[in-house]
Amino acid sequence: MSRPDLNLLVTLDVLLTEGSVTRAAKRLRLSPSAMSRALARLREATGDPLLVRAGRALVPSPRAVELRQLVGQLVQDAERVLSPEAGLDLKHLVRTFTLRTSEGLVENFGPELIERVSKEAPGVRLHFLQKSDKDSAPLRDGTVDLETGVVGSSTGPELRVQALFRDRFVGVVRKGHALSKGAVTPSRYAAARHVAFSRRGLQRGPVDEALELLGWKRNIVAIVGGFSSAVALAKASDLVATVPERHTGVLLAGTHRFVVPVPIPEITISLLWHPRLDADQAHRWLRKCVREVCGQPAPGHPKG
């Protein structure tokens, strides 16, 4: 069975609207004979006369009356599909965006992001998920709209990536801790009792590798799976937490921070999304909001 000529839908819509071969031909810039041939093809395709002569005029058949509204809607839908997307109306946008982020980012940047989104698009809801791994599947299958984190070897090669900010690691201790006074040397730092952060429970990281090159080893007494847990323990004990500074800015209120006394490369926190959402106007607007909120120094974070 041959596929129908969908171009005939436009012709049928105009014929049923005008009720005249001559007027329909003029509207579509066709000759009357060409329109008559198109009507003959439509009659063959539908198995119905569609327009029947009554005196000097043409009147629609019952089948044509039945089709008139349906065909008009089909043509309008097709025109929308094949036309550029209409301008984004943020005030009337109703949508939920899911963002997967590492612990600390919501606490640090969430309040300002939520305030901005609510002000510009009151009908938009943000659904934050904690990032437990670097699997790109949630972005691929559409369960997550945006993700933040450090790009690694496991990041899907097809994903779009845009840097948000660079971050450095700092040591964090409670006020009055021994390391809050005097110069923090590699030996003093290594000898202190540490709480380490690792989602996978690893006992070694870049800090430990850098210390070992100098002949030192950290005294790790606890391992936690989140930045906030590490900072909370540091605030309430003599433990030292080593965390990315900007990523955890508001969590560090009431603590003493110091530069880690071994060279650790800075990390780049990036925004990731699937390419199918590149041209989505609402998604582009949200990406802009995230970039501009995270592009500024976080609350409580000193410039420089």
Domain 90-163+271-294 has CATH 3.40.190.10: yes
Q: What is the pLDDT of residue 271?
A: 93
CA nearest to 220, candidates 192, 244, 178, 261: 192
| 127, 158, 247, 270 from 112: Cα distances, Å | 15, 30, 14, 18
CATH class of 7-81: mainly alpha
At the top level of CATH, the class of 169-265 is alpha beta
* Confidence (pLDDT) at 85: 64
Give the start-end residues of each E strand in the chain: 51-54, 57-60, 95-101, 124-130, 146-149, 160-167, 169-174, 193-197, 219-224, 240-244, 255-259, 267-273
Q: What would the pLDDT profile of 124-153 be if each residue is shown by its tens digit? A: 999 999 887 777 888 888 889 999 988 877
Digit-coded pLDDT (tens) for 74-130? 887 777 777 666 678 999 999 999 999 987 888 889 999 999 999 999 999 999 998
CA distances from residue 152 to 91, 117, 157, 167, 285 in whole angstroms, order as listed: 37, 29, 10, 16, 26
Q: How far is CA 131 from the centre of its chain?
A: 14
Identical fold between 7-81 and 90-163+271-294: no
All structural domains of the chain with their residue ranges: 7-81, 90-163+271-294, 169-265
Average of per-residue pLDDT across 205-218:
91
pLDDT at 237: 95
- 47-55 long-range contacts (CB < 8 A, ≥24 apart) are 50/12, 50/15, 50/16, 51/15, 51/16, 51/19, 51/21
8 A C-beta contact, residue 161 and residue 270? yes
Give the mean pLDDT of 193-222: 87
